[in-house]
Structure 1
Amino acid sequence: MFTWTQTITAKVLGVGLLALLMLIPLGQINGLVAERQALRDDATARIAQGWGGAQTIGGLVLAIPTQEQVAVAGTTTTATRMSTEIVLADTLSTTANLTVDKRKYGMYEAPIYVAEVHISGRILPEDVRTFEKASNATWLGNKAELRLLLRDAQGLKDISVTIDGKPRRFASSTDRMGEFSVVSLPVDLAAQGDTPVNFTVVAHIAGTESLRVLPLARSNTVDIKAPWPDPSFAGALLPTSRDVRSDGFAATWHMLDLNRDYGQHWDAGNDKVDTRLAASAFGVDLYQPASVYQQNERAGKYGLLFIALTFVAFFLFEVLKRLRVHPVQYLLVGGAMATFYVLLLALSEQIGFGWAYLSAASAVVLIVGGYAAAVLDTWRAGAMLGGVLALVYAILYGLIGAEQYALLIGAIVLLAVVATLMYLTRRTDWYAYGLPTSTRTTETP
């Protein structure tokens, strides 16, 4: 007995529902990719914990204790309030040469480096006098200190400093400036007189994935070099010049005090400046282009589309060849294609994304092609569907690799697919499909 479930409309709705049902395993797979990415990030954090994290360096800055008599609320007495005034340098020149390597934690790896950093600059005595005159507090210049700021002091492997040509030595400090650790050395401004404080710092700093510099002067010049072919220039300022090659990069930044949102001096207790200080950093991240998790995530975004295209291919064979394919068989094909993403993720962590993609795609093409040949009872149909699926995976690989042109390529491919479907079904009598044989009209060739 002929029922409405045998109509083409019911079949199309059923296939569409099955395609939407595949969102469940695809969602689980996307969650698995995010979980593995989190494990990789945790491994990177553990590497950084033992080696040195993402580094930010800045300095030297002048820290001057101040004292001021303030009235005690509700009384006629006064009390001495102690604070620290921060004064920045007039000029800073920072050069960093990075030696880069990769460190593994389990099966995960992250780029690490040791940076040989040279910092030179000067602090002007007239700046100190000008800022002191504008203050109501008494500045204790004989108790001042020079501070070097560093995000992760654990990564500091070696450091030397000269002040006015004389070698000095840093000492550890419990003080912090915002989120930055501090090493310091004392300096007597009274003995310095009208002579600028000229300094040179040479440090070897270990870090992971990122190096940034704080613009703690009126005029800041920064040069960073590393044998890394894929730098990502990040932070508050892009380099004024850069040279990126397959064997490494070199970049130069120049920043003025006018380009940042804090001045040449402030009270060390100013929380707003502490926040702005970190936001003003700039530098480079050792970017790993299209990591396996990024590539798996991109592949998953097209999962439903390509499963739907495969269902459409099966549906066309069913319509054009007058065959019958059961919904369970559609589900099995969809399950095989969903398994592709799990296999791709698992293999890409071990052998790299390219080989993993080839292996997973080949396995699914063979499985689906062989299954189609058995279901449709013709090896030709199975070979054709396998070829279509192989083409689909080739297109998907191209979309994953084309970061900037993925949308354009995807739109063209989708238009081509729709045009092909319209061409192949241009003479199909959709009203006749699914009707009993005795009631079908003869199709005009």
Structure 2
Amino acid sequence: MEQTPITQNKFGHWLKTSITARMIMIATIILVLLIPLAFVKELIREREFRQTDVVNEINEKWGSEVTLYGPILKVPYKTYKEKSVFNPDTKQYVVEKESFMNYAYFFPKKLDYNAQAKSKTKKRNNFESVVYESNITITGAFNKPNFSSKSIKDEDIIWNKSSIVFKTSNLKGIKSQVAIQLNKHSYDFETNYHSEKQNRYDLDELESSYLKLENLDFSKPQSFTMNLAYNGSKSMKFIPIGKTTTAKMTSNWVNPSFTGNFLPQDEGEKVSKDGFKANWKVLDINRPFSQQFFNHLPNLNEYAFGTNFIVPVDEYQKSDRSTKYGFMVIGLTFLIFFLIQTMSKINIHPFQYVMIGVALVMFYTLLISISEHSSFLKAYLIAGTAVITLITLYSKSILKNIKFPVLIGTCLTVLYGFIFVIIQLENYALLVGSVGLFTILAVVMFVSRKIDWNNG
């Protein structure tokens, strides 16, 4: 019974005087603090998922992404199948010919898209999405359909039931009547509910009324024009079905992300503080599908190209990136206190390390909550200032002088500033981070050379 206080005193003395014991204690506290840091990361993911749900809801009501596939000339034709039928009267087999209706689809010889998109942000609660209003003009020309590859006779082609097919996403976002001017004659479109959608990624199909043969003259290319008005979001894409397809897009959105199988021409891409302009040109030889299809119209979404209207690294992404440096912030802060404690012989209790660590973790919860109501920069400044001030004042009560708290406050300011710079960078984040960590390592090595490690 009398040996217990002696044993405790020995342990306490070892903890105070041994460098090894102090390092083990600090390492243990850091590992324990990783638990609340993990909860903070989970909180960020939860809020990010919530943001995604709200953005999808906004886009669904306003109008989703826009993909254009067409116009396409659809011409029905007959095919025949012979079969043997037994005649009970003559007791012989008779060959009968059965006809079937099929469809041929012909893409334009020339196809030009001209799109103007006026973008803006829409907010709900603390979340925001990018939407746009667009006006799209589609022009081009069809050549006379060629059925020779299938050996289809002229008398089997049903010209008087020809029509124009147009596929698109986001029917809800269409804000004008869809019609086509073909050879100066207008034809309205209706939704084709008979078109089969294999999956939710397939586009909805619109089909015109039957073309009037007296208005067609296939001795020359048949020109067409379409004008569309859309409310859309996320992206605008075109499928290059013309033998020569050109596209021009202009918008006031300053953060476009050009996407798809084809990028804008180098001389046709311009992004400025007022928005962007982009031009594409795609030839039929640039893509692996032909200008005509028989029996069915394929899903060509994978060959679409266009622009994503993105919000650059949003607040939750920045907050998530900052938490990835949480271990480094806690570790370096504790390292500063450890060096001060070791070199000045000032005693710092494990509980005080825990309080400092909790304050460092609180920085991230402050950052997330404030950034939902303000910009990331303001949130970072407020959260950083609050935590640095708290730890600096707390260190003054621990270290009993002004010199070391000022040093700690300065080091934390530099550290948080360094992390903020890394978060803002994209192409040079790894380079700047590596140089910064190397510099920190060099400083620690230089300072720690004065410590007598044999005492631990």
TM-score, normalised to structure 1, is: 0.89
Rounded Cα–Cα distance in structure 2 between residues aligned with 1:268 and 1:39 = 44
CA shift for structure 1 position 74: 12
- Report the Cα offset of residue 72 of structure 1: 7.7
1:162 aligned to 2:181? yes
Equivalences for 1:108-119 in 2 at 5 Å?
Answer: 108-119=127-138
Alpha-carbon distance, 1:161 to partner? 2.3
Q: 1:279 aligns with which of 294, 302, 305?
A: 302
Summarize the Cα distance change of 1:325–1:87 in structure 2 as closer, same or farther, 3 Å threshold: same
* Pick aligned residue for 2:114 from 78, 95, 107: 95
Matched residue, 2:47: 36
Residue pair 1:68, 1:137 contacting (<8 A) in 2 also: no
Q: 1:149 and 2:167 equivalent?
A: yes
Counterpart of 1:403 in structure 2 is 426
Question: Which secondary structure does the structure 1 equivalent of 2:253 belong to?
Answer: coil
Q: Is the 8 A contact 1:121 1:198 kept in 2?
A: yes
Q: For residues 12-411 of structure 1, what are the structure 2 equivalents within 5 Å?
A: 12-70=23-81, 80-125=99-144, 127-133=145-151, 138-158=156-176, 159-174=178-193, 175=195, 179-188=202-211, 191=214, 192=216, 194-195=218-219, 196-240=221-265, 241-267=268-294, 269=296, 273-274=298-299, 277-411=300-434
Give the secondary-structure state (helix, strand or coil) at the position aligned to 2:192. strand
Check whether the contact 2:109–2:141 (CA below 8 A) recurs between aligned residues.
Answer: yes
Aligned partners of 2:286, 2:337: CA distance in 1, in Å?
A: 61
| Equivalent pair of 2:250/2:275 in contact (CA under 8 Å) | yes
User: Are the aligned partners of 1:170 and 1:185 in contact in 2 as well (CA < 8 Å)?
Assistant: yes
Q: Is the 8 A contact 1:132 1:139 kept in 2?
A: no
- 1:297 is displaced (CA, Å) by 1.6
Using a 3 Å threshold, how does the CA distance of structure 1 residues 318 and 71 change in structure 2: closer, same or farther?
A: farther
Please give the alpha-carbon distance, in whole angstroms, between the structure 2 residues aligned to 1:147 and 1:419. 68
- Could you tell me how far apart the structure 2 residues matched to 1:414 and 1:65 are? 70
For residue 149 of structure 1, report the CA deviation from its aligned partner: 1.5
Alpha carbons 2:181, 2:225 under 8 Å: kept? yes
Superposed CA RMSD: 2.5
How many residues align? The count is 428
How much has 1:375 moved relative to structure 2?
1.9
Which has the larger Rg? 2
The letter for the 1-side match of 2:302 is: A
1:160 Cα deviation after fit? 3.9
* Contact persistence 1:147–1:185 (CA under 8 A): yes
Counterpart AA for 1:181:
D
Deviation sequence 1:188-242 (CA, Å, 0-9, x none): 4865353433210011111012111111111100000001111111111110020
Please say if residues 118 and 253 of structure 2, whose CA atoms lie closer than 8 Å, have aligned partners that are also in contact.
no
SS at match of 2:386: helix
Distance 1:231 1:79 in 2: 55
1:79 to 1:12, Cα distance in 2 relative to 1, 3 A: farther
Instruction: Output the TM-score relative to the length of structure 2.
Output: 0.87
Structure 1 residues 74, 209: CA separation in 2 closer, same or farther (over 3 Å shift)?
farther
Separation of aligned partners in 1, 2:326 and 2:386: 17
Moved more, 349-358 or 157-166: 157-166
Structure 1 contact 171–185 (Cα < 8 Å) conserved: yes
- 1:112-143 CA-partner distances (Å, limit 9, x unpaired): 11111000011111x43344537999543322
Q: Name the amino acid aligned to 1:247.
A: D
Query: In the aligned structure 2, how far is the partner of 1:231 from the partner of 1:350?
Result: 25
In the other structure, the counterpart of 1:7 is 18
Please state how far the C-alpha of 1:18 moved relative to its aligned partner.
2.2
Q: Secondary structure at the match of 2:346?
A: coil
Aligned identity (percent) is 26
The Cα of 1:177 is off from its aligned counterpart by 6.2
Judged with a 3 Å threshold, the aligned counterparts in structure 2 of structure 1 residues 89 and 131 are, in CA distance, closer, same or farther, namely farther
How far apart, in 2, do the equivalents of 1:48 and 1:366 lie? 42
Q: Which runs of 5+ in 1 are unaligned?
A: 434-445
Give SS of 1:367's match.
helix
- Report the Cα offset of residue 14 of structure 1: 2.7
Q: Report if the CA contact (8 A) 2:133-2:232 is conserved.
A: yes
Paired residue type of 1:9: T
Q: Secondary structure at the match of 1:290?
A: coil
C-alpha separation in 1, matches of 2:332 and 2:175 = 57
User: What secondary structure, in the 3-state scheme, does the structure 2 residue paired with 1:325 have?
Assistant: coil
- C-alpha spacing 1:372/1:80, structure 2 compared with 1 (3 Å): farther
Q: Is the Cα contact below 8 Å between 1:236 and 1:281 reproduced in 2?
A: yes
CA distance in structure 2 between the partners assigned to 1:93 and 1:137 by the alignment:
33
